[in-house]
C-alpha cells in the first residue's frame, strides 16, 4: 500500500524503468548476519520520449563499496570517453608531512581572472601537488586503494550470490572499514 502513490505518480508522469544490469538489490542496512535487509530502493526512471530518442540507454548498478545505496552509472551507447581523470582524494595523504604545504601552496597562488577560472586553476595546481604526494610513503597509494577496493567489491559480488552468508557479511564490514580508512 505504501508504494501505490509512488507507482501512480510514475504512471501519471509516463515514466518507465531504464534497462539495468548489475546488482539487483540497491540498498542494504549493513547489519550483520540474519539482521541484514536487502531491498531495491533506487529505480532509474526515464520518460518514453527519452527511451525512444536514446534506445541504448542502460543503467549499471555497481557494488555498494562504502555506501548504503548502490552507485548507478547511466550509459547511452556509443559511449564517448573523456581522457581527463578526476582528482581522487585519499585520507592517507593528510598524514604525510608535506600535505599541508602542498594545499597551502595551491590555495595561496595569486591568479588573475574570473572567480571560476581562479578556482579551476587552483584545483589543477593542487591536483599536480597531490599527484606528487601520491608517490611518497609506501608507494603509489592509488594502487593500494584500488587493491583494497577490488577486495571489497569481490566480497560484495560474492554476497549477491549468498546474501545471508554471515562470514561474507563480516568480511564485507571489515573490508569496507579498512577501505574507508585509506
Give yes or no: residues 106 and 74 share one domain. no
pTM over 0.85: no
Q: What angle do CA 29, 142, 77 make, to 5 degrees?
A: 70
DSSP 8-state class, residue 140: -
Give yes or no: residues 14 and 28 share one domain. yes
Contact assessment for residue 54 and residue 92, using Cβ atoms and an 8 Å cutoff: no
In this predicted model, what pLDDT tens digit does every residue of 90-106 receive, in sequence order? 777 777 777 888 888 87
What are the cell numbers at 105?
A: 601552496
Q: What is the mean pLDDT of the chain?
A: 80
Q: Is 46 helix (H, G, I), strand (E, B) or coil?
A: strand
Taking phi first (over 0 means left), then psi (-120 to 50 degrees means alpha), and beta for anything else, what does residue 147 get? alpha
Give the H or E element holding residue 142: helix 141-161
Q: Is 76 helix (H, G, I), strand (E, B) or coil?
A: strand
Give yes or no: residues 23 and 62 share one domain. yes
Residue 173, in any domain of the structure: yes
What pLDDT sits at residue 79?
45
pLDDT above 80 (res 86): no
What are the cell numbers at 88?
A: 581522487
Residue 89, in any domain of the structure: no
Domains: count for the chain: 2
Quote the domain boundaries for residue 160.
4-83+140-180
Give yes or no: residues 129 and 151 share one domain. no
Give yes or no: residues 150 and 125 share one domain. no
What pLDDT sits at residue 134?
66
Length of the chain in residues, anyone?
A: 182
At 81, the pLDDT band (50, 70, 90 cuts) reads low
Amino acid at each position: 500500500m505504501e508504494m501505490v502513490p509512488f507507482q501512480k505518480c510514475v504512471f501519471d508522469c509516463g515514466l518507465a524503468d531504464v534497462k539495468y544490469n548489475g546488482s539487483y538489490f540497491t540498498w542494504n542496512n549493513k547489519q550483520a548476519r540474519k539482521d541484514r535487509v536487502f531491498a531495491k530502493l533506487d529505480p532509474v526512471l526515464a520518460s518514453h520520449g527519452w527511451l525512444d530518442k536514446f534506445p541504448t540507454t542502460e543503467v549499471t548498478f555497481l557494488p555498494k563499496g562504502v555506501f548504503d545505496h548502490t552507485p548507478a552509472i547511466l550509459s547511452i551507447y556509443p559511449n564517448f570517453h573523456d581522457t581527463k581523470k578526476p582528482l581522487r582524494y585519499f585520507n592517507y595523504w593528510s598524514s604525510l608531512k608535506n600535505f599541508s604545504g602542498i594545499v597551502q601552496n595551491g590555495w595561496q597562488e595569486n591568479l588573475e581572472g574570473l572567480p571560476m577560472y581562479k578556482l579551476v586553476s587552483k584545483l589543477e595546481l593542487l591536483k599536480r601537488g597531490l599527484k606528487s604526494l601520491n608517490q611518497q610513503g609506501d608507494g603509489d597509494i592509488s594502487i593500494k586503494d584500488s587493491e583494497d577496493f577490488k577486495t571489497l567489491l569481490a566480497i560484495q559480488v560474492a554476497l549477491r550470490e549468498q546474501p545471508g552468508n554471515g562470514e561474507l557479511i563480516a568480511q564485507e564490514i571489515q573490508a569496507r572499514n579498512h577501505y574507508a580508512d585509506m
